[in-house]
């Protein structure tokens, strides 16, 4: 359990920087700051994926609570009206905890209430439970739902098109704000509804303002729900796009609690592992009728090929979710085009984008690790190997964006105006880090793809073809060592393009060491690890440039131009700690040092999105979390190395029991 105490919660600026996240396995979520004040346009009590896992809509933005006791009103809600915080319900907060679910305890006028929020797996449904822990006398709880009913990237402003009518029957409030928008149901047992349709104006979202985006919104209310409560009562509220008639909030919560507990049954009894396993669950979502995929990050990403394949081992294999891993591999196998995995799936039914060179190669790594974990040869050889054959053939023949195998057997990629590697920031037509030519991590991935492909061919009794691929891999290794070693500086060039060699010190070179089939060993590997440790390592991730590079940006912020131009120019990335730990184990075999990396990182799980891992961090101390508040590959890579290398006592004990 993570717990935020009263003193922190009642310092508004500190508490507003802490966030919580609930998800539903469809791509939807419920999320806000721990104060109850929405600080992002993406915050909402019910954000539904209307075409899972995409086309998300913020439906119910928030539910403001007011306690009526005697002749007094105590408002528990919190909103930002451009620097004016009103109401100030955070002053009644006693604690916030994150265990299986996020929970709050409020105390006011002798009344103590515990609030629990949960999303229900497989439904666009949010459940709230209000437990009355203490109250001398009966009181009224008034609930004010505030509706947005908009696309998750947009903002709502007062308009005359909204449908002001609502139906309240059997304690269920039903609304449909616009033609074509989802029906929204709020079930509040024992409640009365006071219809008072009206707009509430000028809600401000501080993080949007910091990010240089539009940050002001109007919200609509259909009136208040009011219910009488006393000590010992437990009120369950259901907010859903599905009719909740016949459903009971406590039963939904109990079922969801059992599901989440089952995810932890096979996990070591370590707080960090268990919270990361719960965080991992939030990214694995449904795609189509029978397949799965991985949401790259909350709140604004959908599923990306690169992120999915990097994340799959940590999110699925290390947590024993082999069926989900299989469904993800199958889903992406169906989407391969001209030998490439999609870079990302888009909203609104638009065609997938294929502008990446590395996601396809990470697919080989994911398949390799799936086979190691499951020994599912039948699926891999029958379903996946034909796809891999097609991919390899396209790479030799040449595919989009000049991706092709060159005469030296290294993989070339790139053309003007296109970003193809994970360093993919682009502003208008400006590609910030184009990396056209032969990027260092692409060669490491290509080498691994060939080795993995050869092993699968051998397994499939295609020995001649396997021998040929192993021969190609040896040529890759020879060419790589000849062209990429920067003897003057003691590390690898980042990109080689003809006679041009980019000597930027970046973390990408670690993949030549960290991946299953290593390209760099001995003194050279030691030298690379040493300089990365000295100049790029931070407790929460690896910097993308060292501080002594004149392009270095120490703080990530400002408008989109400022943010995107610094995205990979110093900014630290959490997911890279996975490759860093891999390299420590491979090069130095120093498990104690790897444990120290994880120990240094753990504090972050109690900042930002509590219990999850942020996408990026300021390169400068104190390394504030930025970007997506919860990122799949950040969670995945930290969880993977902890479990793979038994970097906590509980994990080591669990591994010992298994062996």
Taking only the tens place, the pLDDT of each residue in 236-273 is 999 999 999 999 999 999 999 999 999 999 887 889 99
Place of tokens 């029958």: 382
State the average pLDDT over residues 435-461.
98
CB atoms inside a 10 Å sphere around CB 548? 8
Per-residue pLDDT band at 652 (split at 50, 70, 90): low
Fold of the 2-259 domain: Beta-galactosidase; Chain A, domain 5 (2.70.98)
Q: Which two tokens stand for residue 174?
A: 């039903």
Per-residue pLDDT band at 350 (split at 50, 70, 90): confident
Distance CA(529)–CA(518), nearest Å, equals 14
Given a cut of 70, whether residue 650 has pLDDT beyond it is no
Q: Strands 572-573 and 541-543, how do they pair?
A: antiparallel
Distance CA(449)–CA(366), nearest Å, equals 10
Distance CA(492)–CA(504), nearest Å, equals 9
- Average pLDDT of the chain is 96
Maximal C-alpha separation, the chain: 87
Return all residues near 437 (Cβ < 8 A) that are at least 6 apart.
Answer: 412, 413, 414, 495, 496, 497, 498, 500
Q: What is the pLDDT of residue 344?
A: 85
Q: What is the pLDDT of residue 658?
A: 40
Given a cut of 50, whether residue 659 has pLDDT beyond it is no
Q: Which two tokens stand for residue 283?
A: 């990214």
Given a cut of 50, whether residue 549 has pLDDT beyond it is yes
| Tens-place pLDDT, residues 569-589 | 999 999 999 999 999 999 999
Q: What is the pLDDT of residue 83?
A: 84
| Tens-place pLDDT, residues 15-43 | 999 999 999 999 999 999 999 999 999 99
Q: What is the DSSP string of 79-91?
A: EESSS-EEEEGGG
Q: What is the pLDDT of residue 656?
A: 47
Q: Does domain 266-658 have CATH number 1.50.10.10?
A: yes
Per-residue pLDDT band at 653 (split at 50, 70, 90): low
Q: What is the pLDDT of residue 560?
A: 87
Whether the Cβ atoms of residue 293 and residue 53 lie closer than 8 Å to each other: yes
266-658 has the same fold as 2-259: no
Instruction: Name which of 446, 438, 434 is nearest 391 in CA terms.
Output: 446
Per-residue pLDDT band at 515 (split at 50, 70, 90): very high
Distance CA(149)–CA(48), nearest Å, equals 10
User: What are the residue boundaries of the structural domains of the chain, listed by start?
Assistant: 2-259, 266-658
Percentage of the chain modeled with pLDDT above 90: 92
Q: Strands 192-204 and 2-5, how do they pair?
A: unpaired
Whether the Cβ atoms of residue 491 and residue 509 lie closer than 8 Å to each other: yes
Place of tokens 């760099």: 520
| Tens-place pLDDT, residues 47-64 | 999 999 999 999 999 999
Per-residue pLDDT band at 141 (split at 50, 70, 90): very high
């Amino acid at each position: 359990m993570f717990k935020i105490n009263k003193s922190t919660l009642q310092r508004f600026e500190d508490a507003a920087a802490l966030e919580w996240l609930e998800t539903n396995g469809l791509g939807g979520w419920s999320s806000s700051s721990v104060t109850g004040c929405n600080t992002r346009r993406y915050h909402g009590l019910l954000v539904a994926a209307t075409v899972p896992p995409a086309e998300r809509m913020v439906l119910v933005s928030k539910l403001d609570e007011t306690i009526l006791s005697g002749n007094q009103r105590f408002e528990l809600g919190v909103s930002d009206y451009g620097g004016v915080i009103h109401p100030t319900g955070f002053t009644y907060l006693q604690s916030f905890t994150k265990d299986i679910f996020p929970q709050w305890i409020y105390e006011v006028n002798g009344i103590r209430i515990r609030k629990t929020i949960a999303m229900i797996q497989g439904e666009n449904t949010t459940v709230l439970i209000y437990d009355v822990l203490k109250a001398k006398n009966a009181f009224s709880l008034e609930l004010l739902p505030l509706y947005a009913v908009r696309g998750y990237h947009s903002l709502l402003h007062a308009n005359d098109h909204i449908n002001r009518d609502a139906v309240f029957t059997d304690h269920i409030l039903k609304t449909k704000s616009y033609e074509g928008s989802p029906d929204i149901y709020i079930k509040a047992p024992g409640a009365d509804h006071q219809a008072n349709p009206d707009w509430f104006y000028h809600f401000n979202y501080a993080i949007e303002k910091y990010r240089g985006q539009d940050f002001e919104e109007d919200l609509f209310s259909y009136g208040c729900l009011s219910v009488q409560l006393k000590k010992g009562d437990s009120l369950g509220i259901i907010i859903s796009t599905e009719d909740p008639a016949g459903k009971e909030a406590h039963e939904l919560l109990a079922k969801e609690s059992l599901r989440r507990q089952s995810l932890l049954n096979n996990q070591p009894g370590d707080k960090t592992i268990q919270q990361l396993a719960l965080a991992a669950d939030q990214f694995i979502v449904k795609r189509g009728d029978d397949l799965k995929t991985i949401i790259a990050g909350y709140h604004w990403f959908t599923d990306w090929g690169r992120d999915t394949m990097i994340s799959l081992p940590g999110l699925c294999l290390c947590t024993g979710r082999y069926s989900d891993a299989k469904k993800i591999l199958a889903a992406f196998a169906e989407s391969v085009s001209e030998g490439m995995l999609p870079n990302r799936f888009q909203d609104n039914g638009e065609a997938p984008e294929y502008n990446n060179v590395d996601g396809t190669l990470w697919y080989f790594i994911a398949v390799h690790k799936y086979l190691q974990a499951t020994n599912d040869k039948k699926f891999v050889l029958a379903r996946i190997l034909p796809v891999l054959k097609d991919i390899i053939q396209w790479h030799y023949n040449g595919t989009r964006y000049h991706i092709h195998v060159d005469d030296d057997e290294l993989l070339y990629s790139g053309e003007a105006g296109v970003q193809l590697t994970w360093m993919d920031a682009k502003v208008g037509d400006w590609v910030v880090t184009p990396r056209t030519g032969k990027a260092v991590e692409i060669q490491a991935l290509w080498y691994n793809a060939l080795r993995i492909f050869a092993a699968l061919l051998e397994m499939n009794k295609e020995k001649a073809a396997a021998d040929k691929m192993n021969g190609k891999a040896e040529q890759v290794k020879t060419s790589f060592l000849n062209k990429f070693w920067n003897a003057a500086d003691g590390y690898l060039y980042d990109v080689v393009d003809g006679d041009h060699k980019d000597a930027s010190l970046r973390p990408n070179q670690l993949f030549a060491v960290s991946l299953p089939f290593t390209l760099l060993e001995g003194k050279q590997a030691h030298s690379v690890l040493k300089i990365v440790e000295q100049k790029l390592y931070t407790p929460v991730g690896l910097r993308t440039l060292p501080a002594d590079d004149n392009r270095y940006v120490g703080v990530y912020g400002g408008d989109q131009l400022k943010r995107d131009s610094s995205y990979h120019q110093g900014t630290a990335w959490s997911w890279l700690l996975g490759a860093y730990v891999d390299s420590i184990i491979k090069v130095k075999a120093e498990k104690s040092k790897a444990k120290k990396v994880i120990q240094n990182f753990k504090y972050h799980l109690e900042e930002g999105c509590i219990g999850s891992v942020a996408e990026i961090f300021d390169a400068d101390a104190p390394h504030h979390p930025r970007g997506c508040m919860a990122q799949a590959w950040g969670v995945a890579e930290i969880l993977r190395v902890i479990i793979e290398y038994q970097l906590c006592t509980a994990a080591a004990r669990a591994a010992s029991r298994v062996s």
